[in-house]
Amino acid sequence: MFQLDPPVEKVSRLDLKLLFERYYAAGLGRFRISITGDERSAEARGLSADVEEALLVAAERRTPEQLAAIRRQFLELAPELAGARKEIQKLRDGLPGYSTTLVMQEREPQDRRTTFLRNRGEFLEPREKVAAEMISLFPPLPEGTPRDRLSFARWLVSPQNPLTARVTMNRLWAAFFGRGLVRTTEDFGFQGEAPTHPDLLDWLATDFVRQGWSQKKMMRLIVTSAAYRQSARVTAEALQKDPENKLLSRSPRTRLDAEVVRDSVLKAAGLLSPKIGGPSVFPPQPPGITTEGAYGPLTWTVSQGEDRYRRGLYTFAKRTAPYAMFSTFDGPSGEACVARREVSNTPLQALTMLNDEVVVEAARHAGKSAAADPAPAEKKIAAMFRRCLSREPDAAEVALLLKYLETQKARIAAQEVDAVKIAGKGDGADIERAAWTLLFRALLNLDEFVTRS
């Protein structure tokens, strides 16, 4: 609100000049100017229009909504509540900010851009006018449907278009079996492989649509199927007839994805945070991974508290310097979309499971908990075994691990290895903590821990 000095009695013409010095284009679009001689305009109250309207109404005639608006305004302006408002604002300022991203908006129908084919690619020579339409290979859009993004989105999930459901179910199948019914999950075209079970893929796709596109229902269907629940043991006959397990003659044995390997380590140790949502976190990793990367260094300040043990999904990703543990276990770099991850088996993966800071910290936590537990060693070994491998150990496995535990205690007592270096600093019982730490780390390094079967 601007007050003219001196006031102008009569206005026949008002010229307004706007000066934009920061941006090349005007940052202000349409606007409106109102002129009034009302005496109340001398006081700019800063009240919203609904509050102003409510105050002009007699108290006995105000609606509940108007009373609530006046109450809110009082709480925001009353001097005696300034301290409480300051505390509330401090808490609000401490909340993490919402992430933002760029979006695209469809032009109005009357303002659609005309698209032309350019002569030999020359942008100054528009020739043939073209319009949005589906590729003739796919089912067409219904007659009379506008050719816009909304129609395309509806077409994608239409029961008359089986491709979307087929691709989705093939990727879901690959997540459980390590290989899709179409092996090239990223390519359903002529250069992709033919499905090993075409009828099964068709049935899954149509049932997916019948189930209301519920991935949870389809996951339950797959994991309760006989194909998924069969044994992973390989017979000589099955190996001869189906060496690559294309025909699902046995349950597949697939290594866990990079993020799941880390999550499993933290879960087995009792450290994994169940928190959902929020900004990215910075778990421990070797120094120099991000400070010496291309396109400028990134200071990797390790998160503390619960954020240190968040799921791998929330780990901060830098394309030029991905999280080291994920890269070791074939995690994508983020430089390109990857529909199918390749699986490798390298010595660096074994070294990571032995020496990575995340693994060492998890083993120390589990070792400390086991050392403080008064239960017999056999019961503690069985509990640790269940947490790592999700099954009960047999008698031979318990005996072998018990022997390993006693051997490590003897080595530590003889100072062949440094107990503090293994178990970290603690109050007393260094030998016990270190021995259990080594036992837990040994379980993490079993092939069965990183392999789903």
Considering only CA atoms, give the Rg of the chain.
33
Report residue 233 as tokens: 């043991």
| pLDDT (tens digit per residue) in 130-157 | 988 888 888 888 888 888 888 889 999 8
Residue 25 pLDDT more than 70? no
Residue 429 pLDDT more than 60? no
pLDDT of 336 = 83
Averaged pLDDT for residues 109-120: 87
Confidence of residue 427 (pLDDT cuts 50, 70, 90): low
For the chain, what percent of residues have pLDDT higher than 90? 47
CA–CA distances in Å: residue 27 to residues 2, 20, 22, 23, 107: 21, 7, 9, 7, 20
CA–CA distances in Å: residue 84 to residues 75, 314, 450: 10, 34, 52
| 126-130 and 254-255 strand pairing | unpaired
Distance CA 401, CA 384 (A): 11
| pLDDT (tens digit per residue) in 50-103 | 888 888 888 888 999 999 999 999 998 899 999 999 999 999 998 888 878 888
Compute the residue count for the chain. Answer: 453
Residue whose entry in the numeric block shows the structure tokens 């390094």: 445
pLDDT of 428 = 52
Residue 26 pLDDT more than 70? no
Nearest to 313, CA basis, from 255, 389, 257: 257
Residue 7 pLDDT more than 80? no
| pLDDT (tens digit per residue) in 358-400 | 999 999 999 999 998 999 999 999 999 999 999 999 999 999 9
Helices (H), 26-161: 49-55, 64-77, 82-93, 149-156
Q: Bridge-partner residues for 254, per DSSP?
A: 452
Residue 42 pLDDT more than 60? no
Residue 27 pLDDT more than 70? no
Taking the CA atoms of 123, 127, 131 and 134 in sequence, report the sign of the dihedral they define: negative
Distance CA 173, CA 119 (A): 46
Taking the CA atoms of 385, 389, 391 and 396 in sequence, report the sign of the dihedral they define: negative
Half-sphere exposure of residue 433: CA atoms within 13 angstroms, side-chain side: 21
Confidence of residue 41 (pLDDT cuts 50, 70, 90): low
CB 143 within 8 A of CB 133: no
pLDDT of 137 = 80
Query: Other C-beta atoms within 10 Å of 373: how many?
Result: 14
Distance CA 371, CA 381 (A): 11
For the chain, what percent of residues have pLDDT higher than 70? 95
pLDDT of 235 = 87
| pLDDT (tens digit per residue) in 239-294 | 888 888 888 888 888 899 999 999 999 999 999 999 998 889 999 988 777 776 56
Averaged pLDDT for residues 201-210: 94
User: Who's near 191: CB < 8 A, 6+ residues apart?
Assistant: 184
CB 134 within 8 A of CB 143: no
Averaged pLDDT for residues 144-171: 88
CB 362 within 8 A of CB 266: yes
Residue 381 or residue 158, greater confidence: 381
Helices (H), 329-376: 347-355, 357-372
pLDDT of 87 = 93
Q: For residue 316, what is the enclosing H or E element?
A: none
pLDDT of 101 = 86
pLDDT of 452 = 85
Question: What mean pLDDT, rounded, does the chain reach?
Answer: 87
Distance CA 376, CA 392 (A): 16
Residue whose entry in the numeric block shows the structure tokens 């699902």: 248
Q: For residue 380, what is the enclosing H or E element?
A: helix 377-389
Confidence of residue 426 (pLDDT cuts 50, 70, 90): low
Nearest to 132, CA basis, from 150, 148, 116: 148
CB 194 within 8 A of CB 182: yes
